[in-house]
Amino acid sequence: MDLLYPHLTVNAAGHLCIGGADAVELARQYGTPLYVMDEETVRRQCRTYRQAAAEAFGPDALPLYASKALCFAGMYKIAAEEGLGVDCVSGGELYTARYAGFPAGRIYFHGNNKTDRDIADALDMGVGTFVCDNAEELTALDRIAGEKGKVQRILLRITPGIDPHTHKAISTGRVDSKFGSAIETGQAMEIVKQALSLPHVVLCGFHCHVGSQIFDIQPFVDAARIMTDFIAAVRAETGFLASELNLGGGLGVPYTEYDRTVDYAAAIRNMAAEVRSLCADRNVPMPRVILEPGRSLVAASGITLYTVGSVKTIPGFRTYVSVDGGMPDNPRYALYQSRYTALIADRPDAPQDTRVTIAGRCCESGDLIGEDMPLQTAARGDILAVLTTGAYNYSMASNYNRLPRPAVVMVKDGQARVVVRRESYEDLVRNDIL
């Protein structure tokens, strides 16, 4: 069957392998559910982005890893080693980045509702750039920075008014969005003027993010055009010339054999061509360009391994294959009806001769990994692998029904190591007070 990615192979025993490690063995050794990642695939994607951004936009271009996609200390270490910056959106992500020793100057701090405490903590930490979302935040940042005797470098989050045709819940660039200030309503220009008037912030440029899991290059090219136009309009109206333009993240990844693949380097070249020609056209110097990929850096590298429990066929309806995880470790089908590829890791080459619903073990009918999924005939005790779970699975995991969060194991050169320990029942009651 189509294993989607080259780091997924089948070994002599007929088992699924990830990065050269036998998935059935990993399940036996570390237990299930288990997130497994191939380190080389993550690093290769980081290098693809870095190299393509440098070639297309110039050597000062910087891809940031949008760490909401997969957040644990080891990921910040990889991002640092690969020369990326990071996008953090909460005090918790900032704390984890600091714990991992990530250089604070290369952190961009996002979020549409930063609390005073978030702002103070980020200032104390020396976060390089705040991406300010709205007027109140800007006022609060200026005040708190002033109290601390600091002047903070900022970008402003601008809503370019683009509908990228992705799932509504992950589309963020339209005018009616909880994020940023819209160009169309005039609020974007207003917030620029406000930022320029404040003594404790230094405005460097603008940020936009149109959405996530997007395969079409056009929304990115459109965003690049609208933002370059905005830079020119701001210069004309205020005299301020933006030196930095952050074009966000959002390029998609294939989850099934029917999804398109993306040539990330080509997409970056197309964006660059647009920004370059528009800058020349508007007589605006080329800004430093920042990109912010999350999913496309980590999704492909990850798989989740489960043990099959009950297999229940309801005549005339469907077959439920239940696994020992579910929406607590992967809420994406419940939230977005996201499609995945699944296979039995003990025999991935056997024909996928059944179509099943893969169910979790929560007390909730919507606790599904997918419906109408092709799968090898499954039996209790089989190891079931779900592919492309590196992004927005562990980072969105919960303890619903008091299920402990799975461990994360990283494979490198066929060798596995635990990078996040499995939660224990003791962990679950750690903060409970009798």
Q: Catalytic site residues?
A: 363
Q: Determine if 248 is a binding residue for ligand LLP (CB under 6 A).
A: yes
- The DSSP output letter for 423 is P
Rounded to an integer, what distance in angstroms lies between the CA atom of residue 376 and that of residue 381?
14
Rounded to an integer, what distance in angstroms lies between the CA atom of residue 123 and that of residue 121?
5
Contact mark string toward ligand LLP, 202..231, x via CB under 6 A: -------x--xx------------------
Tokens describing residue 428: 């679950």
Which window, 48-56, 140-148, 247-255, 311-319, contacts ligand LLP (CB under 6 A)? 247-255
Interface positions, 384-423, toward ligand LLP (CB under 6 A)? 392
Is 318 or 339 the residue whose CB approaches ligand LLP more closely?
339
Q: How far is the CB of 161 from ligand LLP (least distance, A)?
A: 16
Q: How far is the CB of 207 from ligand LLP (least distance, A)?
A: 7
Contact mark string toward ligand LLP, 40..69, x via CB under 6 A: --------------------------x--x
Task: Note the helical H segments in 31-115.
Answer: 39-57, 73-81, 91-99
Tokens describing residue 272: 């660059």
Q: 425: how many CB neighbours lie within 10 A of its CB?
A: 9
Q: How far is the CB of 125 from ligand LLP (least distance, A)?
A: 19
List CB contacts of 225: < 8 A, sequence separation 6 or more.
274, 278
Interface positions, 320-359, toward ligand LLP (CB under 6 A)? 332, 336
Q: How far is the CB of 10 from ligand LLP (least distance, A)?
A: 28
Interface positions, 116-175, toward ligand LLP (CB under 6 A)? 170, 172
Type of residue at 269: R
Which window, 46-54, 219-227, 243-251, 381-389, contacts ligand LLP (CB under 6 A)? 243-251
Apex CA 31: angle with CA 30 and CA 37, to 5°?
A: 60
Interface positions, 167-206, toward ligand LLP (CB under 6 A)? 170, 172
Q: Determine if 15 is a binding residue for ligand LLP (CB under 6 A).
A: no
Q: What values do phi and psi take at 58, rounded to 5? A: 115, 165
Q: Could you give the angle at which helices 264-282 and 39-57 cross, rounded to 10 degrees?
A: 20
Interface positions, 269-298, toward ligand LLP (CB under 6 A)? 292-296
Is 15 or 174 the residue whose CB approaches ligand LLP more closely?
174
CB 329 within 8 A of CB 393: yes
Q: How many chain residues touch ligand LLP (CB under 6 A)?
A: 20
Is 213 or 228 the residue whose CB approaches ligand LLP more closely?
213
Is 325 or 348 the residue whose CB approaches ligand LLP more closely?
325
Q: Could you give the angle at which helices 91-99 and 116-125 cross, rounded to 10 degrees?
A: 20
**E strand segments, 234-367:** 244-246, 288-291, 302-314, 318-323, 342-344, 354-359
Tokens describing residue 25: 């063995």
Rounded to an integer, what distance in angstroms lies between the CA atom of residue 284 and that of residue 229?
9
Q: What values do phi and psi take at 65, rounded to 5? A: -90, 120
Which window, 6-14, 40-48, 244-252, 416-424, contacts ligand LLP (CB under 6 A)? 244-252
What is the contact surface with ligand LLP in residues (CB under 6 A)? 66, 69, 87, 110, 170, 172, 209, 212-213, 248-250, 292-296, 332, 336, 392
